[in-house]
Amino acid sequence: MQTNKKLIVSAIAALIVGGCATTATAPKSADVKWPNVIVHLHAGNGKAYLVDPATDSVVATLDTEKSAALGDTTPDGRKVYVGAEGEGQDTVTVIDLDKRAVVAKIKTGNRPKHPVVSPNGKLVMINHWGLDNGKLRVAFIDTATDKVVKNIDLDVVGKPAGPTSMHNAWSYDSRYAFTVDRVDDHFVVIDTTDWSVKKIKVPSKPHYVAPSPDGKEVWVVVEGKDRESNYPGALVYKIGSFEQIAQIKMPLIGQGVIEGHHGNFTQDGKYFFILNRGPGSKLEGTEVAVFDAATKKLVKRTDTVSTGIGHTYNTPDGRYAVVTNYGNNWVSIIDNTQGFKVVKDLAVGKGRMGHVAFTPDSRYGYLSNAGDGNLHKLDMQSLTVVKEIKTGNAPGGSQVLNVWTNIFEELPR
């Protein structure tokens, strides 16, 4: 009987920290609250601009930190956590969207990169671009107290050359925290029920982690080193055992440069996009490759007028994917209902493109521009830019967000 009691207590503790493993699919849209403001992070001036989409006016301008570029919203729509990845930075900023105010500044480690909130809303995971005492830190903040409750300091062997980490994600049951070690090229899995760590060696720099909406798989996009034996694409693992079950290769047709960047699932979970960006010194990639999530086979590849393409943002209704980039001021719009055909290439703003946030009805998208620092309102019916909103009006425009995302290009389903 004593043994059974211990097992019951352990099981309850696991559920409190990690959520129920038998219901690991993505939270439904009805369970996630869409805030009534659009948040534009501006790394150049260390500000966050809150925009009311009903009036397209800036209703608050908040101080974050210089180089604060990426963040995430809690599933209840109340708070946003923002990392500051620049040299000398160590602080995560907490924004209360109801109060329209900064309510906390939390020191987490050397160059906090990308806060991501767990699907159950209890923890925020933050990776770092710098080492802390020679180790690669992953910090966890309790959203109830806005205090750091756990640091996982990963041993690294190699010497850092460029960013030491990149992007994070969670399994949809909130049990597993996923991140990457780009010093020694590992996919890293942290089990939050006991804080154990699994490192999985990958063949090239890991960049992006995307759990499948059904909760069964996790896809890790790797940048690649060449076109044949060590190519850009994705490695697919079974969540739980973390056995590798597939390796996906980008076609790389007509691409003068190679570097796999981001990947994400369509809203219905049936397909997976991977984009070829090209390296930081030559941002000229144009290939979008679409794979069947079940068979892992290529179903479509296309080119864009956008160059150095990095991100595909699906509209909430799943019809369109908006492709943003690092190379020019064009976005490419893919119609997911027409065989993933590019239906519009559109010049936006005065500098390279950045990120997108949509209204929940899919009618409008708000695009950030890294060059002019402003938001550009895209009508998703006419596929035209209908307004420019002055948010920064200077280089350094970064992520634009509103609703909670498990990784920053996914949306509630």
* pLDDT given for residue 200 in this prediction: 98
- For the segment 60-82, the average pLDDT, to the nearest whole number, is 98
* pLDDT given for residue 9 in this prediction: 37
Is the CB of residue 343 less than 8 Å from the CB of residue 302?
A: no
Burial class (CB in 10 A: 0-12, 13-18, 19+), 280: exposed
The band of 14, judged by pLDDT with boundaries at 50, 70 and 90, is very low
Asked if residue 8 has pLDDT above 50, the reply is no
* pLDDT given for residue 29 in this prediction: 72
How far apart are the C-alpha atoms of 163 and 155, rounded to whole Å? Answer: 16
* pLDDT given for residue 17 in this prediction: 45
How far apart are the C-alpha atoms of 186 and 188, rounded to whole Å? Answer: 6
Asked if residue 61 has pLDDT above 60, the reply is yes
pTM of the predicted model as reported, rounded to 2 decimal places: 0.93
Asked if residue 30 has pLDDT above 90, the reply is no
Is the CB of residue 52 less than 8 Å from the CB of residue 96?
A: no
* pLDDT given for residue 11 in this prediction: 39
- Pairing mode of beta strands 116-117, 101-107: unpaired
Report all structural domains of the chain as residue ranges with CATH numbers, in order of start: 2-401 (2.130.10.10)
